[in-house]
Structure 1
């Protein structure tokens, strides 16, 4: 059990009103494991439908990847729908393509409906470091247009300067359906909305045991919840109480730094349109400015989820290569957070028995996919499981040799693709 890490997000959000620890035996229609976006979206959609919902968080709301990510609303999945169609058939590609922009729409809808102040800004861009990547963005635009996204614009090097002032890039692709938020503020706002709808939330309440049966009974050290359904959304922070969900995935860490306050003029010199940006490399960089006019810059992956000793040393060179004018600027915050990587790089949805649902392994595309997950699991619990089962039919591939061997194999593969990116091939 822990409080928030020392991140910019925790510094910038109101975290002084914790929810209580579960200290009694209670009843619910649905128990939710995990206070990240998967659990919050699930609880919010179910509470709105009239279900009695209890959410249990082992630490604080948004403690894990939800409250530590880059804060970018990026559409689709970690593997795009053309890859999905090639591997798993055209019907699967079309079914997942029909939902690929819904997560972002859900986020924007929740912000409006519940008046959540989370520094939301519309607009994002993908940027290419070479002509091969720019050609890929052209194909990317055509693909997404087939699924209804007409808010994209392909930019050459000169035109890209209206989005990002950096000499590194050959061109880019804007997406009006993208955007950025302060993710911890969004999570805390969603938690307040759940409570307003009659849901109960408990922090510092890690689950110690799950009793399966006609009704599920979930135990903590000081209480329990008996429910018709359990929704598991702990992802990279899942405990060993459900070991069967830990065999096909691996926690990975990504690192972020945030500068001192630069001022609005400097921020608009760097990013004139105030869009969030990510590049097209396999090990990509991503960045944006914040509401109080700092630059937030992330990148890199540490496999196995261990914390690197010096985050700033890893990320500062990337930031200064993109924006040389920031050389030597003071960094106020540096942190890491774990996301859950699957072998297929696609999320895993499924059931344990008839009444335990799980969603995990968004593989770096969690901000939007988690919100979609919460909606489709609420539909499944209400008896409309068609969309949930689109995801549950995706193969859940085991990690050969377990995590111990998968870590070096994955790192080796990442090094290969990183070299290809550097060579532009």
Structure 2
């Protein structure tokens, strides 16, 4: 089998030391077999190991190979659809429980970083930037909504105030969330993997799950081995393929693109983001950016439906970067890459159970850094028999994309085009 290495990203180039991990050969037995060593799988494993379970993880490539090691590195609260949308969809009781969990993922990340001494350039502070007065009204409503669910670390910013934290004239205002922040995402995953192994968990790399035998004693098969388990947790997200056909029908892999500049002078870096907060704007197809630990600007955005790799990522993202920071026109781009996230039609996570012993969580729809860490806790609770919070997610309705697999990409792209035109025209 071919060895799959990390993509050529800034994160891979600046990663902490990565140990060699074994490929699965032969048969092993465990309490819980987790498919996928990204944030969802690693978070689940840590919570289970801390509760006394025996855990093995099978990973198709390397720890954090997928979205967990390629994302924008931003700690953003809530879900891709906010609590008010959930409330209108499922009613106040279920929304209350989901709303209470909406700000938990960031706290879990910080607890993990502190408890296991994970070196991942953790910084506090995230900005939602308003391009229009309509965006600003949305942020005012969002602040009231989040405060209704107990989240109070928020500050609305007018045009003058946001100019103090973002060195551009593009925004009419914004909202600062001090419980937001940013991290080196691959180093966070690597640190969590080391924590898993410190507690006795085993991670098998280059060991894709190719089949799961369902039943009273599920078995996960890889090309050279198999894992017999009491429970299975499927955490492959956008890289799961068709391992579970009933899940792939209601989700679609999408690609997002990221570029990273050469190291900037301290003076130039401070002029862009004086307080070192991360930023995302309020457009439907949004831009997001932040400084790295070594003063590079990491800038991302764009969506490719169906997760094709664009031929020239820099040509897609660099113009957006220069609209925000024209002073970077002569700055070299050192890295450009794409990574896939999993989109659901509702843009809410898919959580559930197949039979009595196969659990899954997927479909973060671009909001995965915090949600996946919460998902690990919720899945671990369910395996321990505490299913109230798991059920709150599992009861969210999900539907196949219109037109099935053949038309889900063009239909979704048409919808995105419509909303992006509304953004551009200020509607």
TM-score range, shorter chain: over 0.9
Equivalent residue in structure 1 for 2:116, among 114, 117, 129:
114
* Deviation for aligned residue 1:15: 4.9
Q: Deviations over 1:276-304 (max 9, x none)?
A: 00000000000000000000000110000
2:366 corresponds to: 364
* Deviation for aligned residue 1:17: 1.6
The answer on whether the counterparts of 1:124 and 1:276 sit within 8 Å (CA) in structure 2 is yes
The alignment status of 1:232 with 2:229, answered yes or no, reads: no
Q: Deviations over 1:53-81 (max 9, x none)?
A: 00010000000000000000000000000
1:173 corresponds to: 175
* Deviation for aligned residue 1:243: 1.4
Equivalent residue in structure 1 for 2:89, among 87, 95, 107:
87
The answer on whether the counterparts of 1:31 and 1:54 sit within 8 Å (CA) in structure 2 is yes
2:49 corresponds to: 47
Q: Deviations over 1:94-146 (max 9, x none)?
A: 11101000000000000000000000001010000111111111111111111
* Deviation for aligned residue 1:87: 1.6
2:355 corresponds to: 353
Q: Output the aligned Cα RMSD.
A: 0.8
CA distance in 2, matches of 1:412, 1:138: 29
1:304 corresponds to: 306
Equivalent residue in structure 2 for 1:295, among 279, 294, 297:
297
Q: Deviations over 1:296-344 (max 9, x none)?
A: 0001100000000000000000000000100131000000000000010
CA distance in 1, matches of 2:370, 2:67: 13
Matches within 5 A, 1:89-108: 89-108=91-110
The answer on whether the counterparts of 2:289 and 2:300 sit within 8 Å (CA) in structure 1 is yes
Matches within 5 A, 1:16-55: 16-55=18-57
CA distance in 2, matches of 1:265, 1:111: 29
1:331 corresponds to: 333
CA distance in 2, matches of 1:185, 1:380: 28
CA distance in 1, matches of 2:67, 2:257: 11
* SS, match of residue 419 in structure 2: helix
The answer on whether the counterparts of 1:18 and 1:60 sit within 8 Å (CA) in structure 2 is no
CA distance in 2, matches of 1:264, 1:184: 24
CA distance in 1, matches of 2:244, 2:382: 21
CA distance in 2, matches of 1:263, 1:353: 56
Equivalent residue in structure 2 for 1:278, among 264, 277, 280:
280
Deviating beyond 3 angstroms after TM superposition, the runs of 4 or more aligned structure 1 residues are none
* SS, match of residue 368 in structure 1: helix
2:385 corresponds to: 383
In structure 1, runs of 5+ residues without a counterpart are none
The answer on whether the counterparts of 2:276 and 2:290 sit within 8 Å (CA) in structure 1 is yes
Q: Which moved more, 1:296-305 or 1:17-26?
A: 17-26
Q: Deviations over 1:36-55 (max 9, x none)?
A: 10100011110111100000
Q: Which moved more, 1:59-68 or 1:209-218?
A: 209-218
- Report the TM-score when normalising by structure 2: 0.98
* Deviation for aligned residue 1:18: 2.4
1:183 corresponds to: 185
1:193 corresponds to: 195
The alignment status of 1:75 with 2:77, answered yes or no, reads: yes
Q: Which moved more, 1:268-277 or 1:395-404?
A: 395-404
* Deviation for aligned residue 1:149: 1.4
* SS, match of residue 49 in structure 2: helix
CA distance in 1, matches of 2:151, 2:157: 16
Matched residues, number: 425
The answer on whether the counterparts of 2:18 and 2:190 sit within 8 Å (CA) in structure 1 is no
Q: Deviations over 1:363-400 (max 9, x none)?
A: 00000000000000000000101100000000121122
* Deviation for aligned residue 1:16: 3.9
CA distance in 2, matches of 1:417, 1:364: 16
In structure 2, runs of 5+ residues without a counterpart are none
CA distance in 2, matches of 1:114, 1:309: 39
The answer on whether the counterparts of 2:289 and 2:299 sit within 8 Å (CA) in structure 1 is yes
CA distance in 1, matches of 2:405, 2:316: 24
1:157 corresponds to: 159
* SS, match of residue 101 in structure 2: coil
* Deviation for aligned residue 1:208: 1.6
* SS, match of residue 77 in structure 2: coil
